[in-house]
Amino acid sequence: MISKRLSFAHWGPDLAGGLTTAIISLPLALAFGVASGAGPQAGLYGAVLVGLFAALFGSSTRLISEPTGPMTVIMTAVIANLVAANPEQGMAMAFTVVMVAGLFQILLGALKLGQFITLMPYAVISGFMSGIGVLLVVMQLPGVLGHASPGGGVLGVLQALPGMLQNLKLGEILLALFAMALLWGMPASWRKRCPPQLLALIIGTVLSLIFWDTGDLRRIGEIPMGLPDFQIPTFSPAQSKQILLDGLVLGLLGCIDTLLTAMIADSLTREHHDSNRELLGQGIANLVSGFCGGLPGAGATMGTVVNIQIGAKSILAGVIRALLLLTVLLGAAPLMRSIPMAILAAIALNVGVNILDWSFLKRVHNVSRSSTIMMWVVLILTVFVDLVVAVGVGVFIANLLTIKRLSDLHSQNVKAISTPDVKLMLTPEEEELMDKFGTRVLLFHMSGPMIFGVAKALAREQSAMKHAEVLIVDLQDVPLLGVTVSLGIENMVKDALNQGARVWIVGARGATRERMEKFEVLTQEGVFEAETRLEALQAEDK
């Protein structure tokens, strides 16, 4: 499978894509490693391993996978909580969470559930991603101001912010401002020649060495060279439950992040990825990365878009990128020890700003009130409560609104008719017979999918059945009959039979007829079947 996808036919563009994306990934991997609390080496391990194995075992040919802003936000919270609870084993437990996330992604891919991951309203996705952007920005404020993270998440940073502002570290602030000015103000034509993140890293480090003494600034320090040391963590059953839950959250976020990026790649390349296979590849990648002490990763939009724009054609670009970063990790680590922490904090903060869904935030209030409320609820819950709660509440609200809209729409297709109805478009023969019968015959017409929200309309129309001698339930135009509506029809039929009326079930076919059979509606005494309304009316006219 890998040999078929790893092609050297376009090695020139693939080499350019791998080299360019490696240059882009380097500063981001260092920044995310430091931001997470796992260290810069964890960011590099993640960039190498996630990128390599996702490219080899995934589906999209030009998707670049690496540690991303959203995944780093989750990992930061995981590391902080586990290390605080168990200082000796906490870090190893955190990487176990990464492995659990990978296993969860493999499971989702094996169960063919990839196609359902992104089936959620855009307002929920927008609020979720913007909330993660806010989280990442807030968590980088201490580094930009020259302080270590105070812990305690967003609330901990906000509570410590007044003290930080009273004790500003001018040197680190100046370096952070320089980096942000370069990241935000660099002309587009220059960005094509050199990634602004790498330029900020190099120039910022050189300036810090020229104008500041080594001891005046917080720097990365020594980065371990070579391959990682493997650790087998030990933890209690209670901690196992926490690790499992954190792994599920991390894995689900990685699925969403990756598949959204893969969809962007498809739109640019006119190709179509296999969501299930992509999840398998991402799961394998995160499993290996966690085992080796690397950060979790997902499909990265910026790296993927650049890879496509450079002209890469196959997974060779992703493989080359991973091997180049591995070379840096094995041999060039000493060159990075002097990088100021403020520069990395500024790079991570810039990622947070870019994650914010500015285009939707600006116009969501003009789209719909429900989407606005949904987006802000998810955003606030993401920042101040919990990511899983945010997505769960958002999807729940979205489903309720969708069900309400569908129910209102399909309720209009439930009609109790005792006289010819123009909107129903009865045939001349049917109109003649309906006129002849008058109120003795009640035609109960339904059309479209009958989901549970329609049951209320069914009960409302049922009140017209009081004086009817014949009830005709027309199901010809019903492709889907839900359980709740089926129960409603069953009760309606029983009420009609109890008052001495005859009942005709018209046009029940396929799954609709099977549902009626399961509820034993068709086998009751006094219930008859007909293929059409006319057939039932003609039978009553004899």
DSSP letter at 228?
P
Amino acid code (one letter) for 50: V
Q: What is the overall mean pLDDT for the chain?
A: 80
Q: Is the pLDDT of residue 423 over 70?
A: no
What is the DSSP code string of 61-128?
Answer: SS--EE--HHHHHHHHHHHHHHHHH-TTTHHHHHHHHHHHHHHHHHHHHHTT-HHHHT-S-HHHHHHH
pLDDT of residue 402: 66
pLDDT of residue 227: 63
pLDDT of residue 476: 82
Comparing CA positions, the residue from 141, 55, 46, 526 lying closest to residue 353 is 141
CA distances in angstroms from 120 to 105, 210, 342, 392, 393, listed in the order given: 18, 51, 37, 11, 12
DSSP letter at 216?
G
pLDDT of residue 287: 94
Which sign does the torsion angle of CA 467, 470, 476, 481 carry? positive
Average pLDDT value for residue range 400-404: 68
Domains and CATH numbers, the chain: 8-227+237-402 (no CATH), 412-541 (3.30.750.24)
Average pLDDT value for residue range 432-436: 82
d(CA 455, CA 487): 9
pLDDT of residue 477: 78
d(CA 293, CA 113): 28
291: left (phi over 0), alpha (psi -120 to 50) or beta: alpha
Question: Which distant-in-sequence residues (6+ apart) come within 8 Å of 64 by Cβ?
Answer: 21, 25, 51, 55, 299, 300, 303, 304, 306, 307, 317, 318, 321
Q: What share of the chain in percent tops pLDDT 70?
A: 87
pLDDT of residue 48: 92
Question: Which distant-in-sequence residues (6+ apart) come within 8 Å of 325 by Cβ?
Answer: 22, 25, 26, 29, 44, 47, 48, 51
pLDDT of residue 53: 94
Q: Is the pLDDT of residue 192 over 80?
A: no
Q: Is the pLDDT of residue 489 over 60?
A: yes
pLDDT of residue 500: 84
Average pLDDT value for residue range 194-218: 81
Burial of 294 (0-12, 13-18, 19+ CB in 10 A): buried
Six token digits for residue 294 = 């690397």
Answer whether 0.85 is exceeded by the pTM.
no
pLDDT of residue 118: 65
pLDDT of residue 226: 63
pLDDT tens, 326-353? 888 887 777 777 888 888 888 888 888 8
pLDDT tens, 361-373? 887 777 677 778 8
Among the ranges given (267-276, 423-432, 451-460, 502-511), the one the predictor scored with the smallest mean pLDDT: 451-460
pLDDT tens, 445-488? 777 666 655 555 666 656 666 677 888 888 887 777 777 777 77
Amino acid code (one letter) for 231: Q
Helix/strand/coil percent split, the chain, to 5: 70, 5, 25
Six token digits for residue 213 = 């003494």
Among the ranges given (206-210, 225-229, 458-462), the one the predictor scored with the smallest mean pLDDT: 458-462
pLDDT of residue 422: 45
pLDDT tens, 19-74? 888 878 888 888 888 888 888 888 989 999 999 999 999 888 888 899 988 888 88
Q: Is the pLDDT of residue 6 over 80?
A: no
What is the DSSP code string of 465-505?
Answer: GTT-SEEEEEEEE-S-B-HHHHHHHHHHHHHHHHTT-EEEE
Average pLDDT value for residue range 405-422: 53
Question: Which distant-in-sequence residues (6+ apart) come within 8 Å of 355 by Cβ?
Answer: 69, 70, 129, 130, 132, 133, 136
